[in-house]
Structure 1
Amino acid sequence: MPRTYDEDGFQKTTEVKDSDYAKTLPCNKITISDPFQWLSLGLNDLVKSPLISLFYGICFAAAAAGIVGLIYLQGNHSHLVILPALIVYMLIGPFLALGLYDASWARERGKQPSLLHSMKAIGRNSTSQWSFAVLLVVAMIFWMRVAALLHALYPSVEGASIVEFAPFLITGSIAGFILASVVFSISVFSMPLMLERRVDIMTAVFTSFNAVRSNPGPMLVWAAMICGGVLIGFATYGIGMIVTMPILGYGTWHAYHATIQKKH
């Protein structure tokens, strides 16, 4: 059945059968060099959509700068604001990225991206998108609870040796890596899927997880690139995110199209 689109360029909603929920869509095999191609395509989209990129880049930068500034102002009580601040960032980050996905999507269809159209994309599949944002928040709260439990392994004496720190460092690193891997796996392609195909949250999560599991090497490289971009942003008090986040957002859209098989 051919696809039909509304006046905003979005695919029209059709009735979804029960059998279409919680499916795992097939994925392609990708190579270890593909993430570098996605990064290059993201940079190309940044150059071709400077105003949209600047708008969302500033939004990301302002959120990051707000978190860093709030933690700095709280001083000794910074631990009281870290979790709420990060939860807010986890909520708004995926929705800001939707605008970047929409711009890349429009360019793929031969249309000129617009800021207004990209902002409308934020409400395109709002039920699934908000459900996914809540899922990310729950994962972050879970990690904070695990971190609190792991703090029991922290040496209680001042000037402890590296050997005494080893249980805390090793256990914390392993737990953090496992949780970060799971969150990355279920999230890297979920939002693009919910935007373009309007799938339910479980289909998006299952498909994203399967795609990462089927391509561990290339997706590890892409995860490292994303981490690098975010770290650069926070290290520069958010300024770096004006450039890094639009590139990564556009790149994620190209990664999604290269990895998840298209409908025939």
Structure 2
Amino acid sequence: MGPNEIVEPYESPRARHLPPATVFQWLRKGWETLTVDPVPSLIYGVGVFLVSVVVVWTLFTFGYDYILFPALAGFMVVAPFLAIGLYEKARLTDAGEKATLAKMLFVRPASGAQVLFVGVLLMLLMATWMRAAVIVYALFFGVRPFPGLDHIAPVLFGTPTGWAMLVTGCVIGGLFAAFSFAIAVVSFPMLLDQRLDAFTAMGTSISTAWNNMPVMIAWGFIVLCAFLISILTVGAAMIVLFPVIGHATWYVYQDMK
């Protein structure tokens, strides 16, 4: 989008007064979109799963396993950007068009490179969170080397220092997660659908989350549950859950705009 181009007018977000149970309608629509020619969506989910496997393997191979947990949490920060192709399939399905894998991988957002701007911002947020997590560890355990994943559980759950670090880390991580959720919950579908600049989209997304807090908190809880289920299944559930959540996010945007 060039500097002299005129963006589309938009309405300021307002409270939609949607009940928290609306999240189940979004999930149902996300599932229905998945089942409309499910192969492209599942391939997309497999791709995200494989990228996650490569990242985890790289951390272990090069001795960075001490940032595994922050990296897993950081995935939630950048996931809205990774799901851009899933929003596109939902958009095309709504329009009665066929969504091929090529269209999902080579998306042409109405806002052009503004999507990349928000994506880079989320990546910077993830990097900042991972650095903050290392600092939190150092504040409680000093310069002691990371004991390894096989010995960290007794340290975290069996000592007062470990519990203090967990609480502090969860609070700080929660703040990062809440902020990234607020700026991304509808900004990516909005940039895909409308010719807007990144700051307008992010500001609108934050206002939408603020003005519709009950249903947004419920939706954030659903996303968190999907993330935890994916971890408990060593990422396998992500192959299905990531596309469903991605498709459903399009309908979040549709109901909120």
Whole-angstrom CA distance in 1 between matches of 2:68 and 2:255:
39
Structure 2 counterpart of 1:247? 244
Task: Answer yes or no: is the 8 Å Cα contact 1:46–1:53 preserved in 2.
Answer: yes
Work out the percentage of aligned pairs sharing the same amino acid. Answer: 27
Tell me the residue number matched to 1:235. 232
Distance 1:122 1:162, change over 3 A: farther
The alpha carbon displacement at 1:152 in A equals: 3.8
Is 1:191 the counterpart of 2:188? The answer is yes
Match of 2:93 in 1: 107
TM-score by length of 2: 0.80
Q: Which of 25, 28, 32 is residue 40 of structure 1 equivalent to?
A: 28
Query: Structure 1, residues 77-124: CA drift from partner, whole Å, max 9, x if none?
Result: 424788889989966x44541211111111212223223333332565
- Whole-angstrom CA distance in 2 between matches of 1:100 and 1:170: 34
Counterpart amino acid of 1:113?
A: A
Equivalent in the alignment of 1:4: none
1:131 equivalent in alignment to 2:128: no
Task: List gaps (5 residues or longer) in structure 1.
Answer: 1-13
d(CA) in 2 for partners of 1:24, 1:172? 37
| Paired position in structure 2 for 1:26 | 13
In structure 2, what is the Cα distance between the partners aligned to 1:114 and 1:149? 44
Cα RMSD of the aligned pairs, angstroms, is: 3.2
Mean Cα deviation higher: 160-169 or 206-215:
160-169
TM-score (norm 1): 0.78
Q: Deviations over 1:192-229 (max 9, x none)?
A: 01000021110111011111111222111211211222
Q: 1:119 & 1:159 partners in 2: Cα distance?
A: 43
Q: State how far apart, in whole Å, the 2-side matches of 1:25 and 1:61 are.
A: 36
In structure 2, relative to structure 1, the CA distance for the partners of 1:179 and 1:86 (3 Å cut) is: closer
1:1-264 equivalences under 5 Å are: 15-16=5-6, 25-27=12-14, 28-74=16-62, 76-79=63-66, 93-122=79-108, 124-155=110-141, 162-260=159-257
Q: Which runs of 5+ in 2 are unaligned?
A: 145-153
Distance in structure 1 (CA, Å) of the matches to 2:213 and 2:245: 19
Partner Cα separation in structure 2 for residue 168 and residue 159 of structure 1: 10
Most deviating of 76-85 and 237-246: 76-85
Aligned equivalent of 1:5: none
Q: Which moved more, 1:118-127 or 1:179-188?
A: 118-127
Secondary structure of the corresponding residue to residue 107 of structure 2: helix
Distance 1:159 1:15 in 2: 56
Distance in 1 (CA, whole Å) between partners of 2:71 and 2:171 is 24
1:175: how far off? 1.4
How far 1:72 sits from its partner (Å)? 4.0
SS in 2 for 1:25: coil
In structure 2, the CA distance between the partners of 1:233 and 1:163, relative to structure 1 (3 Å rule), is closer
User: Residues 99 and 118 of structure 1 are in contact (CA less than 8 Å); yes or no, is this contact kept in structure 2?
Assistant: yes
- 8 A contact 2:76–2:177 mirrored in 1: no
State how far apart, in whole Å, the 1-side matches of 2:24 and 2:32 are: 12
